Amino acid sequence: MNADELDAVYTALCRAMTAVGEARAPLLLARFALLAIVEIADADRLQQLIAAAAQDLTDPTAGSGS
Amino acid sequence: MPYPFVPERFPAVLPPLGDGVDRVRHRVAIVGAGPVGYCVAIGLAVQGISSVLIEADDSVCAGSRAICISRRSLEILDRLGALPGFLSIGLPWTGGRSFYRDREVLRFTMPNDANQRLPPMLNLAQYHIEQILLERVRELADRIDLRWRTRLTALESQADGVRARLTTPLGDYTLEADWLVAADGGRSAVRESLGLALAGTSYEGRYVIVDIAMPSDRPTERLAFFDPPCNPGSTVLVHKQPQDVWRIDYQLRPDEDAEAAVQPANVLPRVESLLAMLGETADWAPIWISLYRANALTLDRYRHGRVLFAGDAAHLVPIFGVRGANSGIDDADNLAWKLAAVLQGLASERLLDTYSEERVAAARENLSYGTKSTEFMAPPSFAFEWMRTAVLGLAVRHEAVRSLINPRQTSPIAYADSSLSRVVASAPDFRAGPAPGHVLAEAPLQSIDASARAPVRHDGYLTQRLGSHFTLLHFAPDGTLPADLGGLDAEMRGLGIRWRTVVIGAGMDDATGRLWALYDAARGASYLVRPDGHVLARWRQCHANDVRLAVARVLDRVGERKGGA
């Protein structure tokens, strides 16, 4: 996947989230994560990715963006 | 504090009138003496076409507008004879850095290598841009009739021209012209008078744009701060301009009142805290404060009968990615040679439909990149906001996501799908080099001046061999043209076509040896280049008849009649 393709997928996800609305966007992300999990299908790699996603988020204000 | 620039003021002038009508019927009237209007007028003048240029104001622009001129624009300005002024004032730069809170998350560079003659980007204020172009217009005063304080109030479009109603402090009059170029900006009076409207997306996110005077040795680069300690929750951009002027843009929170936000009492503390974070300690003063909201809008067509739209009158591109003035200069460059060819009787007016075709496609590409940049810089929904926060937070440790932060600065547009890029069957056997529709790749050249008593070597670059003419770039190691191609120069000029053949080989070649590989060229290869620097066709082995046919199709294809029409 090149930078333009990454960009396009990123934007598609943003638009899908916008379309379902803020209240249901976390569910959309959860479903997307689940589909990505079964697609990646590498348990060790997935454990690392979950840890990487959680990293730095223990501070409750981290990543709030506002 | 004022800008370090005092514009000269110009009076209105009335032309000789008969019954309230300009006694001269003009070939081309250009509305709007901004960067785009100037470039159209200069481009036409260089092609030998006179025009009248109408400007509502009495001087070059004031205030904070375009400040970044791309390498592609500089190549165009070089062909217009205006490059030295830009290089003497502008600040060249090659990249920038982005920060999330207090961590650097991206360091980007724009395409740049040892083959380049011009910087990827040059910063200077729009009043500088306009002043340099105005000086070039004055050199061409016999072909450009510039009329200040003259405002278009109504426009009547006819089959063979236009009638424009103009108002000046000295009185009103009507001006007739065969063609009218609307380069009168985002609030185009021409567009309004024809009842046309831009379509697309307007964004809610608002930025305060501040220019300040501040001495600093900080280098010229693009700095972006997301959620910085000095201004939590906001996004801040910093650009350097010549003469100790700095551009600072920062995003407003959705709940901030627009009117209050531009009051100095609210702006100055934010700038002060940014400068403190940057470690700047010199005295500074605000020069300009305004509010910006991104638009991504265009007309569907840029040719409406005898009226041609260019620049902001045709399209509004978000500031992020610096595609506004640069795309307008590209419009002017595409338009000038085509309009000149039509006026000189070399091509039918359908060549101007390809102006619309090519530049509408370019605008859509610019809008698509500009939209991406805007969605990152001013997230249009909670989703873009969340995802941006995710990208910025992960970018510290995960390089793979950093490209999403890249500001996607303007880059040359290729007219790959243009009908002009298909006049010659493509040559799929080229493994490198610019395909039809693309601009030339730069490379150093050394030439030997045969007219001097002793041969003199001149260092130069390939794009300097281009001009406002068609260029046949022929590769021959011994530096001589085959007899078949040798007569083309005289033949084309005899037809009134501005033409130049450039032979790459002995006598003029790339001392570094990179050029031949860059163009995948072997003996006999040829590239035919349009007057705007885009490749029209290329051949492994080129014959004069191929070239004749390509030129005839570009100028005449236009003459191809669909059956029964």
Contact call for residues B150 and B296 (beta carbons, < 8 A): no
The whole-number pLDDT of residue A65 equals 43
Chain B residue with CA closest to A55: the answer is B394
Q: pLDDT tier at B564 (50, 70, 90 boundaries)?
A: very low
The whole-number pLDDT of residue B19 equals 96
Whether B476 and B530 map to the same domain: the answer is: yes
Q: Which residues, other chains included, contact B187 with Cβ-Cβ below 8 Å and sequence gap of 6+? A: none
The residue from B353, B377, B401 where one domain ends is B377
Provide mean pLDDT across the span B82-89.
Answer: 97
Exposed/middle/buried for B340, CB within 10 Å: 0-12, 13-18, 19+?
Answer: buried
CB contact under 8 A, B383 and A63: no
The whole-number pLDDT of residue A66 equals 40
The whole-number pLDDT of residue B427 equals 72
In chain A, residues with a C-beta closer than 8 Å to the C-beta of B390 are 63
Contact call for residues B54 and B197 (beta carbons, < 8 A): no
Return the axis-axis angle of helices A3-20 and B351-377, rounded to nearest 10°.
70
Chain B residue with CA closest to A16: the answer is B383
In a domain, B439, yes or no: yes
Strands B51-54 and B315-316, bridge-based pairing: unpaired
Provide mean pLDDT across the span A39-65.
Answer: 82
In a domain, B403, yes or no: no
CB contact under 8 A, B397 and A55: yes
Chain A residue with CA closest to B393: the answer is A63
In a domain, B87, yes or no: yes
pLDDT tens sequence across B474-532: 999 888 999 999 999 999 999 999 999 999 988 888 877 789 999 999 899 999 999 99
Contact call for residues B299 and B307 (beta carbons, < 8 A): no
The rounded distance, in Å, linking the Cα atoms of B489 and B469 is: 11
Whether B185 and B304 map to the same domain: the answer is: yes
In chain A, residues with a C-beta closer than 8 Å to the C-beta of B227 are 65
Whether B41 and B157 map to the same domain: the answer is: yes
Contact call for residues B532 and B472 (beta carbons, < 8 A): no
Whether B81 and B174 map to the same domain: the answer is: yes
CA distances from B216 to B27, B107, B360 (A): 49, 21, 41
In chain B, residues with a C-beta closer than 8 Å to the C-beta of A7 are 372, 403-404
Question: Would you state the structure tokens that stand for residue B279, as one six-digit string?
Answer: 């470690």
B230: three-class secondary structure by DSSP: coil
Whether B125 and B66 map to the same domain: the answer is: yes
Furthest C-alpha separation in chain A: 35
Cross-chain CB nearest to B385 (options A55, A56, A65): A65
In a domain, A40, yes or no: yes
| Residue B562 in this model has a pLDDT that exceeds 50 | no
Whether B139 and B57 map to the same domain: the answer is: yes
Cross-chain CB nearest to A11 (options B233, B372, B398): B372
CB contact under 8 A, B382 and A63: no
CA atoms within 13 A on the CB side of B65: 18
Question: Would you state the structure tokens that stand for residue B108, as one six-digit string?
Answer: 């980007």
The rounded distance, in Å, linking the Cα atoms of B43 and B177 is: 18
| Residue B563 in this model has a pLDDT that exceeds 50 | no
CB contact under 8 A, B233 and A25: no
Judge whether B109 is closer than 8 Å to chain A, CB to CB.
no
The whole-number pLDDT of residue B456 equals 66
pLDDT tens sequence across B198-234: 999 999 889 999 999 999 999 999 999 999 999 998 9
Question: What is the CATH classification number for the domain harbouring B541?
Answer: 3.40.30.120
Query: What residues are paired with B109 via a beta bridge?
Result: B95
Whether B36 and B160 map to the same domain: the answer is: yes
B123: three-class secondary structure by DSSP: strand
Cross-chain CB nearest to B404 (options A10, A52, A62): A10
In a domain, B216, yes or no: no
Least Cα separation, residue B511 to chain A (angstroms): 34
Q: Dihedral of the CA atoms B311, B312, B316, B321 (nearest 10)? A: 60
Least Cα separation, residue A17 to chain B (angstroms): 6
pLDDT tens sequence across B109-137: 998 988 899 999 999 999 999 999 999 99
CB contact under 8 A, A25 and B382: yes
Least Cα separation, residue A66 to chain B (angstroms): 4
In chain A, residues with a C-beta closer than 8 Å to the C-beta of B388 are 65
The residue from B377, B407, B427 where one domain ends is B377
Average pLDDT, whole number, for chain B?
93
Contact call for residues B188 and B207 (beta carbons, < 8 A): no
Report how far Cα B17 is from the mean position of its chain's Cα atoms: 36
Nearest Cα neighbor of A37 from A22, A47, A26, A23 is A47
Q: What angle do CA B553, B557, B561 make, to 5 degrees?
A: 145
Whether B321 and B470 map to the same domain: the answer is: no
Residues spanned by the domain of A42? 3-54
Provide mean pLDDT across the span B50-76.
Answer: 94
In a domain, B504, yes or no: yes
Q: pLDDT tier at B187 (50, 70, 90 boundaries)?
A: very high
Q: pLDDT tier at B24 (50, 70, 90 boundaries)?
A: very high
CB contact under 8 A, A63 and B390: yes
> What ranges make up the beta strands (E) of B55-119?
68-70, 91-93, 95-100, 103-109
Judge whether B385 is closer than 8 Å to chain A, CB to CB.
yes
Whether B372 and B447 map to the same domain: the answer is: no
The whole-number pLDDT of residue B307 equals 98
Count the domains in chain B.
2
In a domain, A46, yes or no: yes
Whether B462 and B547 map to the same domain: the answer is: yes
CB contact under 8 A, B386 and A65: yes
In a domain, A64, yes or no: no
Count the domains in chain A.
1
In a domain, A37, yes or no: yes
CB contact under 8 A, B387 and A22: no
Least Cα separation, residue A41 to chain B (angstroms): 20
The whole-number pLDDT of residue B560 equals 45
CA distances from B366 to B315, B317, B361 (A): 10, 7, 9
Contact call for residues B478 and B449 (beta carbons, < 8 A): no
Whether B370 and B435 map to the same domain: the answer is: no
In a domain, B545, yes or no: yes
Return the axis-axis angle of helices A25-40 and A43-54, rounded to nearest 10°.
150
Whether B373 and B424 map to the same domain: the answer is: no
pLDDT tens sequence across A2-45: 998 999 999 999 999 999 999 999 999 999 999 999 999 999 99
Cross-chain CB nearest to A66 (options B233, B381, B401): B233
B93-97, B426-430, B461-465 — which one is most confidently predicted on average?
A: B93-97
The rounded distance, in Å, linking the Cα atoms of B561 and B73 is: 35
In a domain, B272, yes or no: no
Residues spanned by the domain of B543? 419-559
DSSP-assigned states of every residue in B149-208? S-EEEEEEEETTEEEEEEEETTEEEEEEEEEEEE---TT-HHHHHTT---EEEEEEEEEE
Instruction: Quote the percentage of chain B above a pLDDT of 90.
Output: 82
pLDDT tens sequence across B296-348: 999 999 999 999 999 999 999 998 888 999 999 999 999 999 999 999 999 99
In a domain, B394, yes or no: no
Cross-chain CB nearest to A14 (options B383, B398, B401): B383
